[in-house]
Amino acid sequence: MRAKRRTVNCDFCGHGRIVQRTEEISFRQWSDRGVVTCRAAVAVGICDHCGAGSLEPGADKIFDEAFRREYTRYGRQIGAR
């Protein structure tokens, strides 16, 4: 994964610099059709000193889109049975 440096100090330790990179995250979410398993690539800022991480703004929208995509796919699979 490609990482790029920003000149932002870590809010947690105050010593490290934040490195932004894209990570693929898997998650499960309950729905009226049962548990839906999803994957999404989101931007994450990680401190190069203490390792603290945080999601970058807009991650919630990416998670919502991933859920909708998998929910729709899951619905089609149920209907095909």
Residues 33-60 have a mean pLDDT of 94
At residue 10, the 3 state secondary structure works out as: coil
Predicted confidence (pLDDT) per residue in 2-41, tens digit: 555 446 889 889 899 999 999 999 999 999 989 999 999 9
Count: domains in the chain: 1
Q: What is the largest CA-CA distance in the chain?
A: 56
pTM: 0.73
In sequence order, which ranges of 1-81 are alpha helices (DSSP H)?
59-80
Report the CATH number at residue 24: 3.10.20
Residue of 79 and 31 predicted with greater confidence: 31
Q: Give me the domain span that covers residue 21.
A: 3-80
